[in-house]
Amino acid sequence: MTSSFPLLNLPPEAILHVLKSMDYGEIVILSLLSERAKQSVESVNLYSRGSSAVLSDLFRLIMNFDKKQVELTFTMDEIRENRTNDFSSVPKNIELITYNNTAETVELCIKGLNLRKWINHLKAIFHFSELYCLQFDENASLFDIKELRTMFNSYYQLCILSDNGSDVKSILENIPTRRLFFENDVFNRLENPYQVLIQNYDELAIGPELESPNSLELDDLLMTNSKAIKIFDSNWAEKELNRFLKHWMKGSNPRMERLSIYFFPQETLNNSKILKGIKGMEVPVEHMRWFKSYDEVVEPVTGGYDFYRCDGTKATIAIRAHDLNMVEMYVWYPHCVGEAEEMGN
């Protein structure tokens, strides 16, 4: 025999104690029972430290907490013609997965709540308004682009991982961002890649494609106007990197503050070929400086090779060859010089 227990009739301190012992599936379900239940859940102050939305055939909302990750997957009606748009549609299935060393899956059977209301509800009970990442994957065109801009009007980074069924040009026109991440194959198929490269992004990253090198060429990099540039799986030779450094010394890429190049698997990079003809000074490996990125993140820089641009601006190139070949370049503008005390702020 079972009996119900009037949880919300308890004193506020007792309600809070019980709610803190519940798992996320129970908390979500409880929050939907009534406005009072929702307010009680909000009082627990479960703050999502970083949330991402993934758009594809499914809709996924991923929320990170101090010790757990919670992922809600919404399966929409398979027949597109049966719905006017996805955000006013009621999900066909809802699955909640909690990651904490092991994955625990719960299917939520809640009828009548459309996707828009779901998203707004989760934002309220988990206290977040900005997404860390808004990600477009396969068949993201099922979602109305203008509704997306309204629904997710604040996000840290835009990721485009597939153009299968997506209009990338429309995404870039309607979903403005300061930080853009492309998969390499998506970048390759852009109608006009130079219109992307010349934009004043804070950060532009072009990610790897399975078992294929990045197609970005030296002339592409010279046109890139972002503060932070990340290139994954480059197949450049040392002489191409050397040419870029010499172009930078003459004045190219004036907005660039940080360059990261991760090389496609190859033999260890030859430092002397990269630095050929570049006057500068090697920095002892035990010497540590602090670099402040555009987003105020401060990190240590050890060793490297200092050299200068024609206007006197100093830069450091650090060539790493541990688990993978990579090159980091730091440009020491006055606002990029950090202090050790700023680490972790």
Q: Is 153 in the same domain as 263?
A: no
Helix ranges (H only) for the chain are 12-20, 24-31, 35-42, 115-125, 145-151, 168-174, 184-188, 193-197, 218-223, 238-250, 271-274
Q: What span, in angstroms and rounded, lies between the C-alpha atoms of 312 and 317?
A: 16
pTM for the model stands at: 0.86
Q: Which residues of 233-266 are buried (b: 16+ CB within 10 A; e: fewer)?
A: bbebebeebbebbeebbeebbebbbbbebbbbee
What mean pLDDT comes out for the span 82-108? 79
The winner for highest mean pLDDT among 14-23, 127-136, 205-214 is: 127-136
Q: Average the pLDDT over each of 92-96, 199-203, 286-290 and give the range with the smallest value.
A: 92-96
In the predicted structure, residue 314 carries a pLDDT above the cut 80 = yes
Its domain, for residue 288, covers: 217-345
Question: Would 15 be classed as within a structural domain?
Answer: yes
Predicted confidence at residue 266, as pLDDT, reads 66
Helix-, strand-, coil-residue percentages of the chain, each rounded to 5: 30, 30, 40
Q: Is 263 in the same domain as 162?
A: no
Q: Of 25, 47, 26, which is closest to residue 123 (Cα–Cα)?
A: 47
Percentage of the chain beyond pLDDT 90 is: 47
Predicted confidence at residue 147, as pLDDT, reads 84
Q: Is 136 in the same domain as 159?
A: yes
Name the domain boundary from 150, 177, 204.
177
Q: What span, in angstroms and rounded, lies between the C-alpha atoms of 70 and 35?
A: 23
Tokens of 145: 């682009």
Tell me, what amino acid is at 112? G
Question: Would 120 be classed as within a structural domain?
Answer: yes
Helix, strand, or coil here: 155?
strand
Q: Is 3 in the same domain as 93?
A: no
Q: Is 345 in the same domain as 221?
A: yes
In the predicted structure, residue 324 carries a pLDDT above the cut 80 = no
In the predicted structure, residue 344 carries a pLDDT above the cut 80 = no
Q: Is 20 in the same domain as 61?
A: no
Determine phi and psi for 177, rounding to 5 degrees: -155, 160
Predicted confidence at residue 166, as pLDDT, reads 67
Task: Quickly state the pLDDT bin for 36 (edges 50, 70, 90).
Answer: confident
Q: Of 262, 276, 275, 249, which is closest to residue 331 (Cα–Cα)?
A: 249
Q: Is 256 in the same domain as 341?
A: yes
Q: Is 299 in the same domain as 326?
A: yes
Q: How many domains does the chain have?
A: 3
The answer to whether the CB of 304 falls within 8 A of the CB of 283 is: yes
In the predicted structure, residue 17 carries a pLDDT above the cut 90 = no
Q: Is 39 in the same domain as 69?
A: no
Chain centre distance of CA 96: 22
Q: What span, in angstroms and rounded, lies between the C-alpha atoms of 307 and 282?
A: 9
